[in-house]
Structure 1
């Protein structure tokens, strides 16, 4: 069995009045992430980590922000397509470990719903998805509530 690890990092600016999609769910907040798609930073880092683990480039290569078909797209559709591509190459997800960096709103109450949605989209067990949240102690763009960042590490296996 072949085992590979991938890593993802993404940042999105926060803007007042936009919906805030995070981990496949809409989180109530006054600000939302700005991006070409729905700007779900957690799904984007998971996609990048999965694609990287399988040496399949990155989310921008597969879903360029210059392509109008991806304007406003639900990132769950991108994740489902990444899973299709990954499985087509013979890979399966071992586990995902992710961290969201955000001052407000508090993410912890939403993590169970995020895990459920992501597991359904990916066709994996909820136990295979770890989502953590942290602040940056009011430092940097996250601390000033100008943006949201996320990291993910994944393990994939190939028979």
Structure 2
């Protein structure tokens, strides 16, 4: 068994959709990034790659590559899972924390879990998602962006 940890952050930007864990969240701002800027899925990808000893998201899906401009992070997650499967790894569970004052994560948690589980090909119960605030401190507290953390456990077949 191996453990991986991932972290990502994106700033808010106007005229962008807000996508978290592959789910579009109604909000007046989206996140700035080369892809769809799904900060939570990016943290998850980094955790998976780290657990498997395969580097990080920037190595595999660089923002300098036009193929990834505007791409759904769920596609990147699917590609990541293929890379893990080629090395004989499979996901046991994933725990994600999304840090934002707004929007609230709770109303979208079940849909997020279902969406990620379908891409990860695992039971929904293997995915946990939490929303946290920073009590109005720091860049997330000032509503300048969103941060996300992910921890995964993988096993080798």
The question of a shared fold, defined as TM-score above 0.5 by the shorter chain, is answered with yes
Aligned counterparts, 1:1-159, within 5 A = 3-159=1-157
What are the Cα deviations for residues 37-95 of structure 1, in whole angstroms up to 9, with x where unaligned? Answer: 00000110000000000000001000000000000001000000000000110001010
What are the Cα deviations for residues 73-128 of structure 1, in whole angstroms up to 9, with x where unaligned? Answer: 01000000000000110001010011000011111100000000100011111000
Unaligned runs of 5+ in 2: none
Give the deviation of 1:16 after TM superposition: 2.2
SS in structure 1 at match of 2:45 = helix
Calculate the aligned-residue CA RMSD, in Å. 0.5
Aligned length: 157
TM-score (norm 2): 0.99
Unaligned runs of 5+ in 1: none
TM-score (norm 1): 0.98
